[in-house]
Amino acid sequence: MILPLIKGLATTLRYCFSKPITLQYPEEKRTPYPRFRGHPELVINEDGSRRCVACTLCMVVCPSNAIRGIVPAEGPHHEKYPVQFTIDLTRCIFCGFCQEACPKAAIKLNNLYELAQYDKEVLILDIERATQKKPEMRAPDWL
Amino acid sequence: MINLTIDGRAIQAEPGKTILEVARENGIYIPFLCYHPALKPIGSCRICVVEVKPGPPRPLPACATYVAEGQEVVTTSERLTAIRQELMKLVLINHALECPICDKGGECELQDLTHALGVPEVDLTAIPATSPPDYESLLVERHTDRCVTCGRCVRLCRDHVGAMAINFMQRGYFTELGSGLLPLDCEFCGSCIDICPVGALINKQFKYRARAWEVTKTEMVCPFCGGGCSYELHLKDGEIMRVYNGETALLCGRGRFGWPVITSPERLRTPLVRVNGELQEATWEEALAAAAGGLKAVLEEAGPGALYGVGSPRATNEANYLFQKFFRAGLGTNNLDNPGRLHYVKALSALGQVFGWPEVKEADGPHPKPPAYTSPFSVKEETKGSGFTFVLGSLEELPRADAALILGADLTPELPPLGWGVNAARQKDDFQLVVANPRGTKFDRWATVSLRYKPGAERLVVAGLMKALLTAHPDLTPAIPAQGLDDLKESLKKFSLKEYASRAGVEAADLEAAAAILAKAQAPAILFGTELLNQDKGEMNALALADLFLLVGKPGTPGSALYPVAEKANTRGVCELGVLPDRLPGLLPLDSPAAPAFWGEHKPVQTPGPTLLEVLDKLEQDEADAPRALWLLGGDLLRWLPNRSRTEKLLSKVKFMVVQDAFLTDTAKLADVVLPVAIHAEQEGSFISSTGQLGVLKAALGTDGVLPDWQIICRLASALGVPLSYRTPAQIFAEFARQIPLFAGLAPRKVVGRTGIPAELKGTFVLFDLDISLPGRRPFTLIIGKVLQHSGSFTTHEPCGTLVVTPEAAVSLNPEDAAQLELKAGDKARVISSHGEVEAKVALDPLLPAGVAFLPEHFAQPAAQMLTLNSNLVRVSIQKA
Ligand code: SF4
Ligand code: SF4
Ligand code: SF4
Ligand code: SF4
Ligand code: SF4
Ligand code: FES
């Protein structure tokens, strides 16, 4: 009868003296796992140019119509690139299909997860805001 | 019928078809690459291989193997898959694989084949063969690194377009498509783009603007010429992306690349009303009130006869029908005509004299509730047709002609589909071609006999041909009952064959050779164009040709027919719908028993109204019954009527003028009210092509301020006390189709007179005059005619795509003539006739004989009609400017 009680107390005591599991969010932030799927963004090359060639495959594959308004243009060397590109994070379901469909590795899901906003408009990214600033994964402090 | 099995399935097939065709008809998939339904098979890619028993042990190409009785065909087996995959790997070695940016991506046959054949990977390597893409050529972009050397474009351009502009260069693995290391210098029809299975040939207008799967497709009829080509209009977000013809691939440059003209900033978007002598923008209500007010004042003052109407060969059948309805049922007059008066109407009138006007008796119907744009009449056993409609040919049968005479027409610029038809006909070994034209044309190359006669000598050529025919075959009898042959023979005695030849400027031996071809032919076709009809004696020219056809033609044999060119999209329709002073809709005579149906409450008027040209004479002579008001349904009279300064003077005598047009033309600038109209895919309606095909326009674009012609006519007529009200153009079609038994069996894409109506034909030889003198003593004969990239003035507005190819008009001269005048290409020359003069750039054209010059009619400047008197031929002198 008393034995289980002691067992429970021992567990409690053990946890009193071990490292806490709870994260003190938002003071403390969690680093996501490498394969975490945050929101999609347009990848840039070392020279700052976008990799996207406006093939619209990501738009086609997106199951929730979060990617739209890709407007292609022709550059001076006949290259194709987007001049408009909208990623609607209010629709994105973070499935990663776009990343998978992209033949140019030009769209990737980053590791951002703090997407809550007071104003929905902020979540509709135009081509500038949908593009990485640095040719690497974005740190979770920009939005 | 032949019995065979494909994959064990018993199938009946027509003899003469290939295994691939039969399989496709029966929904059995056989992959293919170099085959295209519009082309003759060459069996070069071997992707379509199948096992055939009985047959050789090796697989055979399905596209080039004909079906035979008792054949057993296997379309899939391990061996076949292995062969196909291996071939695909060879095709894919060093293929560019830039699908993300390739415009073909999504509709690429190579992509589809790779999927269908499950090509896992390309485990072969070869040295890269890279030739840079051709970005230089106009309108078409070539990426040889995407080419699969199927040869479809080469065959299409050579055999059907007849331009022979592209071919393969190098050999073997290095084979590449080229045009002699230079940018394309061709007809810029873009047909090669649509036939290319891959993205090796790209439409520059479409490039990077949309992906293949993003477009919505609307089936359309081309509004640019009387060819009546149908194509798909591809739109994205309500904007036109491209014009596409996946079926036959054939379209001409203006049809394929001309559409941007509808977005032209020069388009009228608001009605204009003349206030204090100036045209000012107005609302539709104001403009219609002003138009109605002005017309009402004239009608009240001088009676219904004071208004004259000119219909439009660019407006739909429905609009033109309403237009004539307003005049006949509304005003009770025959005061209307159409600009075809200058050319096509002359052909109709000549044909009417020789073969009789068309009539269909005992058609079955009208049946209630036919489908949209379908005649409520059908053809039954007792149905009988007669008249010239049944000697006019359809495009479909032209390739079956075994001889053709092209006279007085530079065929491709005038009506490209007739050119394609002749090209298709010459794929047959026994086909023989006679080309007669004062200028050299594309078809001379394939002609057995080329007759280069003096400008205006068409009738002498025809008379010479008939003379030679009747001399060689004195008891030649026409294929249909005909009267007057003896009179004709008598009249031909006027000159000897030698005299005919020398007067026309050709060799008697050539006339004899040409006559022999026509006499021998089992299915001779005669094609003629506006170049000969536009002359003041155009009707005589057409009479001569109609006589010739009556003499040698084999009406009823497919391909043996007359092909007069009806220039604009609806030139034939505007006539068939009765926008003529002497004919009712369906080309019925004014005294037809069916006439009352067209006159509403009025008693049918049996006296014809004045023609457009007679109206001008009346205005010139200030006759009492000269019209005081004009209602023009489009058509820039100043631009098209000969002797422009006279037209200008006479039009200014008209008190009140209402013009409906898409652009502020020179004639519209003289108007009191200008009403902007919808064009192209902004409106619904139907056209009748030059070869009689009913084409249906669909409204796919927004109208942005303009209105379709039929709505304007309804509103203006109602304001004038003639209530016209319809919901849709289809309703208008249904109304007139009920009155026109000639259209029995007609439906979209069907051909007037080719709907299975048995025809009873007879003819009368009508004599024509042989006087070909052209007044004046100036040294050059100037021909005013058409160039390939333009259709009337419609295509001369920026940003029409064909303007990059032909941006302006130049007067063409024989190089030797030019050298004598010390003119070089690009110099400015003054062209002077006794009526006026224009300044034009000089172009050199070795195809022109000495003493003949050519000036295109399309452009505002130089205004070709400043020079003319009453014909498209005029004597001019040419000097350095
Ligand atoms: S799939 Fe990639 S290349 Fe294509 S549009 Fe999307 S981001 Fe751009
Ligand atoms: S031609 Fe076809 S396979 Fe080749 S790059 Fe273009 S879309 Fe891809
Ligand atoms: S555009 Fe027409 S004429 Fe020119 S190469 Fe292609 S098919 Fe031939
Ligand atoms: S360009 Fe196109 S149509 Fe022409 S050979 Fe190459 S793949 Fe065939
Ligand atoms: S031939 Fe005539 S109808 Fe055909 S595409 Fe050209 S302009 Fe249009
Ligand atoms: S499709 Fe038959 S050989 Fe190419």
Average the pLDDT over B433-460 and give the result: 96
- CA torsion, points B220, B409, B425, B508, in degrees to nearest 10? 170
Q: How many angstroms separate the CA atoms of A45 and A52, rounded?
A: 10
pLDDT band at B747 (very low <50, low <70, confident <90, very high): very high
**CA–CA–CA angle B721, B727, B729 (5° rounding):** 100
CATH code for residues A32-130 = 3.30.70.3270
Name B696's bridge partners.
B686
Q: How far is CA B845 from CA B163, B388, B594, B810, in A?
A: 17, 38, 53, 11
What tokens were used for B287? 């403009």
* Burial of residue B169, with CB atoms counted within 10 A of its CB: 0-12 exposed, 13-18 middle, 19 or more buried: middle
Tell me which chain A residue has its CA closest to the CA of residue B141. Answer: A78
Question: Within its chain, how far is the Cα of B529 from the centroid?
Answer: 11
The SS3 call for residue B133 is coil
Is B762 part of any domain?
A: no
B100: CA distance to ligand 1 center in Å?
A: 8
Residue B131 has pLDDT above 90, yes or no: no
Q: Check residue A140 and give its pLDDT.
A: 46
pLDDT tens by residue, A58-100: 999 999 999 999 999 999 999 999 999 999 999 999 999 999 9
Q: Check residue A142 and give its pLDDT.
A: 38
Q: B737 and B639, same structural domain?
A: yes
Chain B residues whose beta carbon lies within 8 Å of the beta carbon of residue A77: none
Answer whether A73 sits within 8 Å of B208, measured CB to CB. Answer: yes
Say if ligand 2 is within 6 A of residue B198 CB: yes
Q: B528 and B407, same structural domain?
A: yes
Q: How many angstroms separate the CA atoms of B717 and B698, rounded?
A: 25
Is B382 part of any domain?
A: no
Helix-then-strand count for chain B, H and E:
25, 38
The SS3 call for residue B506 is coil
Check CB contact of A4 with chain B, cutoff 8 Å. no
The distance in angstroms from the start CA to the end CA of chain A is 56
Distance from CA of B216 to the nearest CA of A (A): 15
What tokens were used for B116? 């269908």
Distance from CA of B120 to the nearest CA of A (A): 18
Answer whether A74 sits within 8 Å of B211, measured CB to CB. Answer: no
Residue B129 has pLDDT above 80, yes or no: no
Tell me which chain A residue has its CA closest to the CA of residue B102. Answer: A55
Check CB contact of A140 with chain B, cutoff 8 Å. no
Contacts (Cβ under 8 Å, ≥6 apart) of B397: B558, B559, B561, B754
Chain B residues whose beta carbon lies within 8 Å of the beta carbon of residue A80: 101, 208
Name the DSSP class of B328. I
Domain boundary among B206, B238, B263: B263
Q: B256 and B140, same structural domain?
A: yes
What tokens were used for B52? 């055939």
Residue B128 has pLDDT above 90, yes or no: no
Q: Check residue A141 and give its pLDDT.
A: 41
What is the spatial order of strands in the sheet that A80-88 belongs to? A67-74, A80-88, A124-125
Higher pLDDT, B354 or B772: B354
Average the pLDDT over B801-823 and give the result: 95
Tokens 């609607």 belong to A88
Residue A135 has pLDDT above 80, yes or no: no
Q: How many angstroms separate the CA atoms of B40 and B63, rounded?
A: 9
**Are B791 and B254 within 8 A, CB to CB?**
yes
Average the pLDDT over B850-875 and give the result: 94
Q: B709 and B628, same structural domain?
A: yes
The SS3 call for residue B807 is coil
Domain carrying residue B712 = 272-366+569-743
pLDDT tens by residue, B477-513: 999 999 999 999 999 999 999 999 999 999 999 999 9
Is B385 part of any domain?
A: no
Residue A143 has pLDDT above 50, yes or no: no
**Are A143 and A111 within 8 A, CB to CB?**
no
The SS3 call for residue A33 is coil
Q: Check residue A136 and give its pLDDT.
A: 67
Q: How many angstroms separate the CA atoms of B132 and B498, rounded?
A: 58
Index of the ligand 6 atom closest to the CA of residue B150: 4
Tell me which chain A residue has its CA closest to the CA of residue B237. Answer: A69
Q: How many angstroms separate the CA atoms of B865 and B857, rounded?
A: 8
Q: How many angstroms separate the CA atoms of B519 and B540, rounded?
A: 23
Q: How many angstroms separate the CA atoms of B552 and B50, rounded?
A: 47
Run of H or E residues at B451: strand B449-451
Q: B319 and B404, same structural domain?
A: no
Run of H or E residues at A8: helix A2-16
Q: B303 and B236, same structural domain?
A: no
Q: B126 and B231, same structural domain?
A: yes
SS3 content of chain A, % helix, strand, coil (to 5): 20, 20, 60
Index of the ligand 6 atom closest to the CA of residue B31: 1
Domain boundary among B504, B525, B558: B558
Q: B870 and B812, same structural domain?
A: yes
Contacts (Cβ under 8 Å, ≥6 apart) of B99: A55, A103, B105, B108, B111
* Burial of residue B652, with CB atoms counted within 10 A of its CB: 0-12 exposed, 13-18 middle, 19 or more buried: exposed
Name the DSSP class of B159. I
Residue B623 is which amino acid?
Answer: E
Residue A113: phi and psi, rounded to 5, are -130, -5
Q: Check residue B874 and give its pLDDT.
A: 95
* Burial of residue B167, with CB atoms counted within 10 A of its CB: 0-12 exposed, 13-18 middle, 19 or more buried: middle
Q: How many angstroms separate the CA atoms of B295 and B716, rounded?
A: 10
Average the pLDDT over B384-392 and give the result: 96
Check CB contact of A57 with chain B, cutoff 8 Å. yes
Q: Give percent of chain B above pLDDT 70.
A: 100
Residue B286: phi and psi, rounded to 5, are -60, -45
Ligand approaching nearest to the C-alpha of B249: 3
**Nearest beta carbon to residue A74 from set B99, B207, B214:** B207
The SS3 call for residue B809 is coil
Q: Check residue A33 and give its pLDDT.
A: 83
Give the mean pLDDT of chain B.
Answer: 95
**CA–CA–CA angle B624, B629, B634 (5° rounding):** 135
Q: How many angstroms separate the CA atoms of B222 and B689, rounded?
A: 10
Average the pLDDT over B405-421 and give the result: 96
Average the pLDDT over B316-320 and give the result: 97
pTM of the model: 0.93
Average the pLDDT over B660-689 and give the result: 96
Chain B residues whose beta carbon lies within 8 Å of the beta carbon of residue A104: 100
| CATH (domain of B592) | 3.40.50.740
The SS3 call for residue A60 is helix
**Are B636 and B793 within 8 A, CB to CB?**
yes
Residue B130 has pLDDT above 80, yes or no: no
Run of H or E residues at B531: helix B530-533
Answer whether A103 sits within 8 Å of B100, measured CB to CB. Answer: yes
Q: B718 and B574, same structural domain?
A: yes
**CA–CA–CA angle B439, B850, B860 (5° rounding):** 60
Phi/psi-derived region of residue A105, left when phi > 0, alpha when psi is between -120 and 50, beta in every other case: left
Number of structural domains chain B divides into:
5
Is B542 part of any domain?
A: yes
Q: Give percent of chain B above pLDDT 90.
A: 95
Q: B116 and B35, same structural domain?
A: no
ipTM associated with this complex:
0.84
pLDDT tens by residue, B31-40: 999 999 999 9
| CATH (domain of B82) | 3.10.20.740
Check CB contact of B699 with chain A, cutoff 8 Å. no
Nearest partner of B857 among B803, B809, B814, B800, judged by Cα = B809
Average the pLDDT over B631-651 and give the result: 93
Average the pLDDT over B310-330 and give the result: 97
Domain boundary among B240, B263, B286: B263
B140: CA distance to ligand 5 center in Å?
A: 18
Q: B437 and B399, same structural domain?
A: yes
| CATH (domain of B840) | 2.40.40.20
What tokens were used for B849? 């004989």
**Nearest beta carbon to residue A57 from set B100, B207, B209:** B100
Alpha helix positions (H), B331-483: 344-355, 411-414, 416-425, 458-472
Average the pLDDT over B122-149 and give the result: 91
Inter-chain CB pairs, A–B, below 8 Å:
27
Q: Check residue A139 and give its pLDDT.
A: 46
Q: Check residue B185 and give its pLDDT.
A: 94
What tokens were used for B443? 């078809």
Residue B774 has pLDDT above 90, yes or no: no
**CA–CA–CA angle B467, B469, B475 (5° rounding):** 105
Is B390 part of any domain?
A: no
Closest C-alpha to ligand 4, atom 8: B150
| CATH (domain of B165) | 3.30.70.20
Residue B846 has pLDDT above 90, yes or no: yes
pLDDT tens by residue, B502-545: 999 999 999 999 999 999 999 999 999 999 999 999 999 999 99
Q: B257 and B276, same structural domain?
A: no
Residue A26 has pLDDT above 90, yes or no: no
SS3 content of chain B, % helix, strand, coil (to 5): 35, 20, 50
Ligand approaching nearest to the C-alpha of B419: 5
Q: Check residue A137 and give its pLDDT.
A: 57
